[in-house]
Amino acid sequence: MESSLVYFKDLFSKGATRNSKVRQTPVSPFWVMVRKETGDHIRSWRFIVMLMLVVLTFLGSMYVSVGNISKAVNNMKDPDRLFVYLKLLTTSDGTLPTFHIFISFLGPLLGIALGFDAVNAEQNNGTLTRLMAQPVYRDNVLLAKFCGALLVVSILFLSLVLLMIGGGLIITGVPVEAVELLRILAFIVLSIIYVGFWLSLAICLSVCFRHAATSALTVIGIWLFFTVFYQIIVNLVVNAMLPDLGYLQPEEMLSYNNLLLSLLRLAPSQLYTDAATTLLMPSVRSLGPLTVEQMAGAIPSPLPFKESLMIVWPQITGLLAATMVCFALTYYLFMRREIRT
Amino acid sequence: MEDPIIELEGLTKCYGSVKAVDNLYLKIDRGEIFGLLGPNGAGKTTTILMMLGLAEPSAGSARVCGVNATMHPIAVKQKVGYMPDSVGFYDDMTAFENLMYIARLNGIAGEEIEARTRETMELVGLGEEMHKKTSAYSRGMKQRLGLADVLIRDPEVIILDEPTLGIDPSGIKEFLSLIRRLSRQQGLTVLLSSHHLHQVQQVCDRVGIFVNGKLLVEGNIETLSRNLFGEESYVVVITAREALPSSWGPAEELRKLDAVRNVEVKESTIELSCREDITPDIVRFLVEQGMNITGVHKKEYGLDEIYHRYFENNLKNNTANGKFAGLFQRSFFKRSNTQ
């Protein structure tokens, strides 16, 4: 119990203990709250359950990809075949989805689990009033909740991937290339942003609704809508608008295709999968359809990291913007609210 | 009165068309224990929230320790400890950890925290149960922990919202005497809200009665009762061993005394209402008359009576004028009945 708090004590107050001859400057309330939130998450059952799920899917997809890695690396048609570690993350024989597809499903769940009762549970327990009576800024409370959960998620993802690289080193004996490491780290940052979006949505709803169950159901509803129904609805709508395919000019066809893609990209999971695929498969050159003219003369070779990053920049911006919007809304709802039990 | 630590000026809070707090003026001095009394829903908690800057007043201002609470809530919260009415703790942490968390939030330096927390826990009498989880705490213990939580940051003012709610009578007594002791020792200003009058009466220097968002009266209990009950203030009930006849001789002589307003003889008791406290004279007189006195009881008007009078009248007449007219009427009737 106490021990987990003690771990973090050193983590955050290192600067303060170093010059202990001078009077210790107290840790700012914000970091105190972050520390407490992080400790709470690590000890909570719900995080342990989510952790097991993520670790299991990770091990599952790694098992499948390690089994198929030699096939993938020897596949001469694939320009990416030499990126062994990227292949580890993206290879599958079809029995199990790859890790980033799993994360596109589980990431939201992780974010929701860590955030759905952030504010209303405190309010129902009567601790929020007590917390608000302390000399802390309200926005710090929200930000600490967000950062605490995100810190836990970041550490989880980072350690998983570092484990993967370590395991890969032992199994294959191939050294990691800098580009691979960069791409994998970028993928991790992307995954954290993605979870961050769902986390901030969950926190927002936990401010809106007084009951934890209501906010949990609502945010799960939103998640289900985007993962299951949204694609169906978009396909229906675009099909209804689409004239007979036989009479379409190629340009019109292209524009309809782009419209379909843009609509699909309103879903955060679509943004995430697009960006993750591009980052993990260096040969992906565009996320939209390319015409034959555009492809003419292109050599099927992996893109440099910077180019891949340029391709996914809109996706990353979109996810960040969505996160910000949720957070700003939370802020707006929470700042001037009267808090009583 | 030179140094008010809490100063409310024309404080008003509206929820839609309902005025929860209506044009409230109040001054509380340093080192004072002030009781805010009123029925549920009178606006006590709203007033407290506005003092802490947790709610925004619709009009008026609240100054605590010379700082405007609405504009600079953090500065106020650094000096004021607030215990909400249903105080809650993080159930998965021990009481000690809960308190340490609060201590850290208040910027108490690292090496002091543990000693300070332990000290505060012992001060409120929870030294033994320090490392229990708060989910295992009883209501009374939670209340004590709430007080520890308020005290740990060394406040100038403590505000307790319904501190006695849900504690058993002996616990209440202990709790209130603890508050009083602390206030006297450390010169703390205490504001406590309650609808339990007896308890407040035990500890408060001054009370304010608060109904429907308005502060009806304020002052110490003695003044309040004098204002309200006027000359009836001192009532002495004397019980004799044997029954007395209704036209008992000495009663007439008692009536002749200056301070005595009224004498009533009922079986074996005599009830006297006096202007001044002349109980010893009365007893001496009755003993000389050869009466076998078994009990002398001086009736003091407690907050209960004060409160009932104000509150009943307030129910009957909503306008301020009507209220006082009603009050006089009632006392008039009471007086004429007794004569």
Q: Are B103 and B204 found together in one domain?
A: yes
Query: Are B207 and B269 members of one domain?
Result: no
Contact criterion met (CB < 8 Å) for A134 and B77: yes
pLDDT at B329 over 50: no
Sheet holding B67-68, edge to edge: B18-29, B4-15, B59-64, B67-68
Who has greater pLDDT, A13 or B122? B122
How does pLDDT run across A151-162, given as a tens digit for each residue? 999 999 999 889
- Nearest CA of chain B to the CA of A133: how many Å? 6
pLDDT digit string (tens) for B21-58?
Answer: 888 888 888 888 998 888 777 888 888 888 888 888 88
Residues of B in contact with A28 (CB under 8 A): 107
**For position B30, what pLDDT does the model report?**
87
| One domain for residues B87 and B169 | yes
Mean pLDDT, chain B, integer: 80
B214 and B102 co-located in one domain = yes
- At A55-102, the pLDDT tens digits run 998 888 888 888 888 888 888 777 777 788 888 888 888 788 888 888
Percent of chain B with pLDDT over 90: 5
Q: Is the dihedral of CA B239, B245, B249, B254 positive or negative?
A: positive
Lowest mean pLDDT, pick from A65-69, A112-116, A141-145, B217-221: B217-221
Would you call B90 an interface residue with chain A, using a CB distance cutoff of 8 Å?
yes
Nearest CB neighbour to A134, from listed B87, B88, B105 = B105
B104: nearest CA partner in chain A: A32
Do B63 and B188 lie in one domain? The reply is yes
Residues B106, B202, single domain; the answer is: yes
Are B77 and A135 inside 8 Å of each other by CB? yes
Q: Are residues B117 and B246 in the same domain?
A: no
Which chain B residues are Cβ-neighbours of A16 within 8 angstroms?
110
- What ipTM was reported for this prediction? 0.78
Q: What is the pLDDT of residues A246-299, one digit of tens each?
A: 777 877 888 888 888 888 888 898 899 989 988 888 887 777 777 677 777 777
Last residue of one domain, picked from the residues B219, B249, B273: B219
Q: Give the other-Cβ count within 10 Å of B195's Cβ.
A: 19
B115 and B172 in a single domain? The answer is: yes
Are B266 and B206 a contacting pair, CB within 8 Å? no
Residue B325 lies in domain: 302-338
Residues of A in contact with B83 (CB under 8 A): 130
Given B199, B219, B239, the domain boundary residue is: B219
To the nearest whole Å, the CA of B13 is away from the closest chain A CA by 12
Q: Model's pTM, two decimal places?
A: 0.80
What pLDDT is stored for residue A323 in this prediction?
Answer: 94
Instruction: Verify that B205 and B233 share a domain, yes or no.
Output: no
- In A67-188 the beta strands, taken as DSSP E runs, fall at none
Cβ of residue B106 closer than 8 Å to a chain A Cβ: yes
Per-residue pLDDT at B321: 43
pLDDT at A202 over 70: yes
**B147 contacts chain A (CB < 8 A):** no
Q: Is the pLDDT of residue B247 over 60?
A: yes
Query: Are B121 and B73 members of one domain?
Result: yes
- CA torsion B284-B278-B248-B268 (nearest 10°) is -80
**Residue where a domain terminates, one of B202, B219, B236:** B219
CA distance B156 to chain A (A): 14
Which pLDDT value is given to residue B307?
66
Q: Which residues of B3-14 are buried (b: 16+ CB within 10 A; e: fewer)?
A: ebbbbbeebbbe
Angle between helices A138-172 and A305-335 (to 10 degrees): 150
Q: What is the CATH number of the domain that holds B22?
A: 3.40.50.300
The sheet with strand B189-194 has its strands ordered as B80-83, B157-161, B189-194, B33-37, B206-211, B214-219
Find all residues with CB under 8 Å of B130, minimum gap 6, and list them. B94, B95, B96, B118, B121
B166: chain A residues, CB-CB within 8 Å? none
* Nearest neighbour of B105 by CB, restricted to A13, A29, A338: A29
How close does chain A come to B41, measured CA to CA in Å? 13
Q: Are residues B231 and B208 in the same domain?
A: no
Residue B257 belongs to a domain with what CATH number? 3.30.70.1560
Shared domain check, B247 and B108? no
Give the total number of structural domains in chain B.
3
Which has more confidence, B96 or B253? B96
